[in-house]
Amino acid sequence: MITGKFPKLRLRRLRKDENIRKMVRENHLSVNDLIYPLFIVEGENVKEEIKSMPGQYRYSIDKVIEEVKEVKELGIPAIILFGIPEKKDDIGSDSFSDDGIIQRSIKAIKESVPEMYVITDVCFCEYTSHGHCGYLKCSEKSCDVDNDRTLELLKKQVVSHAKAGADMVAPSGMMDGMIKAIRKGLDKADFTEIPIMSYAAKYTSAYYGPFRDAAESTPSFGDRRSYQMDPANVNEALREVALDIEEGADIVMVKPALSYMDVIKAVKETFKYPTAAYNVSGEYSMIKAAAMNDWIDEKRVVIETLLSMKRAGADIILTYFAKDVAKWIG
């Protein structure tokens, strides 16, 4: 492509003026790309700040409605909901109860802000007393998540979300066969139009630390290595994504985002599918902490970071910065 025949080539010419910089800009960050995560707890009039995530809160249902109205006014098209029930048990039954925290939240939000696109995180770790992402089977020596039993419970969970009015479901538990089971469950209950955003390539990551604080979902023993991916692998991510697409995923996600830009790029280039990146809690908190110390320019760092995810190939970004970005680039 480059022949070296044009010694007068000056790339800087197109950088001199904002008008021309805008015209040759290759990637854009827009509010339309953003999904805002929200944490919902039991109670009334609750808006408590999450210590490890300054500027992020746990809301009771009445309070989250005010927040969703604000999110809508800022032009953010979608939210993703995480429910934190008061009572947890070993199978996470609140997660599929028609009267569960998340089901009541969806109904209340859809009633007051019907135009908001409501996505639900589908998993068990916030709902189980042991904090693992599925049904646990224990032998005398050890416990592990029972993949196939979890699939049955996942079907119940997504159908209850859809019945409550969810627009899209986002399973995050990394169970094998999870997309197929969920698609089947939804279709059988006549929710054939509800799309699935799969957390297809989800790594075992220390970047989830602040989230686990927020959602009280730290496993009470062990870790999630037996179902989440090894941070050393990228080909495996492509296999995970391929399977999920074959099973019926409409959107595939890479999570975390910042340390996995190569994975985002590989997924986008290989499958050319709608691709989401989760700018996770640890990525948020690192920037926040530095900004609060005046060590970095928060606005510029956030926009640069999210833009780099777009450049890597993300169409959609789940981010706790969504409201800030909407205000900045509105």
Residues labelled as active-site residues: 202, 255
Instruction: Say what angle helices 281-292 and 298-312 make with each other, to 10 degrees.
Output: 150
Q: Return the ∠ at Cα 201 (arms to 244 and 148), rounded to 5°.
A: 55
Of 101, 238, 280, 312, the one binding ligand PBG (CB under 6 A) is: 280
CA distances for 233 relative to 27, 68, 201, 269, angstroms: 27, 37, 10, 17
Q: CA–CA separation, 80 vs 259, rounded Å?
A: 22
Residue number with CB closer to Zn ion (173 or 313): 173
**Residue 127 engages ligand PBG in binding (rule: CB under 6 A):** no
Q: Is 286 in the site for ligand PBG (CB under 6 A)?
A: no
Report d(CA 159, CA 164) in Å as an integer: 9
Place of tokens 């990525």: 283
Site of tokens 């996770």: 280
Query: Does 103 help bind ligand PBG (rule: CB under 6 A)?
Result: no
Quick one: 119 or 125, whose CB is closer to ligand PBG? 125
Examine residue 157 and tell whether it contacts ligand PBG (CB under 6 A).
Answer: no
The least CB distance from residue 18 to Zn ion, in Å, is 45
Asked if residue 174 binds Zn ion (CB under 5 A), the reply is: no
Sign of CA dihedral 231, 236, 238, 240: negative
Q: By CB under 6 A, is residue 169 in contact with ligand PBG?
A: no
Residue 18: CB minimum distance to ligand PBG, A: 34
Position among 102, 109, 123, 200 found at the interface with Zn ion (CB under 5 A): 123
- Choice between 132 and 183, CB closer to ligand PBG: 132
Residue 100, by phi and psi: left (phi above 0), alpha (psi -120 to 50) or beta?
A: beta
**Residue 147 near ligand PBG by CB under 6 A:** no
What is the C-alpha to C-alpha distance for residues 41 and 138, in angstroms, rounded to an integer? 30
Give the binding site for Zn ion (CB under 5 A): 123, 125, 133, 173
Which residues lie near ligand PBG (CB under 6 A)?
Answer: 121, 123, 125, 172, 208, 211-212, 217, 280-281
